[in-house]
Amino acid sequence: MTEKRVVFDFDFQFTNGGGIQGQDFRLDIEGDDIDDAALVDYIVRDLRLLMVGPARILNKKIIVEAHKRKAKQDGGRRVYVELSHDIEDGMVTYPGLPAARICDYLSRERSREIYEEGTQFQIARIEIVANTGTYLDCPSHRYEDGKDLSQIGPEAFCDLDALVIRADHRQVRAIDASWFQDRELRGRAVLVHTGWDAYWREEAYAVGHPFLTRDAAEYLRDCGVKLVGIDSMNIDDTGHDGASGKARPVHSVLLGAEILIVEHLCNLAALPDEGFEFSAMPPKVRGAGTFPVRAMARLR
């Protein structure tokens, strides 16, 4: 197969000030092309850059040229931390939406009439709205022409290099862009630990919860994050404490940039600030923009 490389100029700004520019930079690529976002991620890893914020790729062209290096294989010991709430019969995740219903479609007792002696099975019937438990939002949740769950590849929500931002709900409710400055963000999953999951299944969970502001969402978008998660009732201000709460600027900004959102995380206190991969895999459902996930972290 003919090997190809990309030639380009770049202009990167850093979240802690300053920047770096390059001209006629060359990198190996797989296939015939590479988009600008993937190219930014590639060069950040290749140069081992830190604190990269807004970034531009300029004068890009593809050339036929032999590759100069071989890809390195990643490894590591597998230690997982569970970050999802249990889904239980009768559970309400979001006020006003119906409760989850979990029951037998085929009970073990009934199955004994179907199978030979000593053989039995249980088949559950599960009726839930998509916004149940810990769930992931993709663009079609907010935008009619946005990608749905069947159109999002696993690389968007599996084994993402991640970090935790600590924003204790007792200290801050409206989490603005300042909480994310001076941090390595580009290409990573950003998980916001507020401690609000302590109120899960309580009435207080829906009232006065912490959330991100529009400027935080815009900053995270401009810094090229891949996914944003929070252990709160909603990543936006829902207004359940008396405010109007009809706008959803964070959903609009992030999903408009194809940055996935995971809400109702838990157990983020058990994670280190960095040094882990985050995964939150939904089923491949056509026509759905939200679905429960099994969210987890793999520690290095």
List pLDDT tens digits, range 1-30: 578 888 999 999 999 999 999 999 888 888
286 C-beta neighbours (distance < 10 Å), count:
9
What does the pLDDT read at residue 254? 98
Residues 6+ apart with CB under 8 A from 170: 195
**pLDDT band at 75, cuts 50/70/90?**
very low
> How confident is the model at residue 79, as a pLDDT?
84
Compute φ and ψ for 140, nearest 5 degrees. Answer: -70, -15
What are the φ and ψ backbone dihedral angles of 284, each rounded to 5 degrees? -90, 80
The pLDDT tens digits of the residues spanning 174-196 come to 999 999 999 999 999 999 999 99
- Mean of all residue pLDDT scores within the chain: 92
Task: Please give the structure tokens belonging to residue 182.
Answer: 């001076």
Residue 1 has a pLDDT of 56
> What's the pLDDT score for residue 118?
93
- Residue 298: per-residue pLDDT: 94
Residue 74 has pLDDT above 60, yes or no: no
Torsion angles phi and psi, residue 81, rounded to 5: -120, 125
Q: What is the pLDDT of residue 30?
A: 81
Report pLDDT digits (tens) over 130-163. Answer: 999 999 999 999 999 999 999 999 999 999 999 9
Q: How far apart are CA 135 and CA 151, in angstroms?
A: 17
pLDDT at 42: 83
The confidence score (pLDDT) of residue 32 equals 86
- Counting every residue written for the chain, the total comes to 300
Q: Which of the pair, 43 or 148, is modelled with greater confidence?
A: 148
Which DSSP string corresponds to the chain? Answer: ---EEEEEEEEEEETTS-EEEEEEEEEEESSS---HHHHHHHHHHHHT--SEEEEEEEEEEEEE----SPPPPP----EEEE--PPP-TT--SSTTSPPPEEEEEE-HHHHTTTSPTT----EEEEE--SS-SSEEE-GGGT-TTS--GGGS-GGGTSSEEEEEEE--TTT-SEE-GGGGTTS--TTSEEEEE-SGGGGTTSGGGGSS--EE-HHHHHHHHHTT-SEEEESSS-SS---TTSS-----HHHHHHHHTT-EEEES---GGGS-SSSEEEEEEPP--TT-SEEE-EEEEEE-
**What band does 76 get if pLDDT is binned at 50, 70 and 90?**
very low
pLDDT digits (tens, 9 = 90+) for 46-55: 788 999 999 9
Q: CA end-to-end span of the chain, whole Å? A: 35
For range 269-298, the mean pLDDT: 96
| pLDDT tens profile 105-123 | 999 999 999 999 999 999 9
The mean pLDDT value for 243-264 works out to 92
Tell me the whole-structure pTM to 2 decimals.
0.79
For residue 106, the cross-strand partners are 123
- Predicted pLDDT of residue 246: 85
- φ, ψ for residue 100, nearest 5 deg: -70, 140
Bridge partners, 228 (sequence order)? 190, 261
Instruction: Name the amino acid, one letter, at 33.
Output: D
In this prediction, residue 77 has a pLDDT band, given cuts at 50, 70 and 90, of very low
Whether 264 has a pLDDT exceeding 90, the answer reads yes
Label residue 71 by pLDDT band (50, 70, 90).
very low
With a pLDDT cut of 90, the percent of the chain lying above it is 82
Query: Is pLDDT at 70 greater than 60 in this prediction?
Result: no
- The answer to whether the CB of 143 falls within 8 A of the CB of 256 is yes
Q: What is the CA radius of gyration of the chain?
A: 22
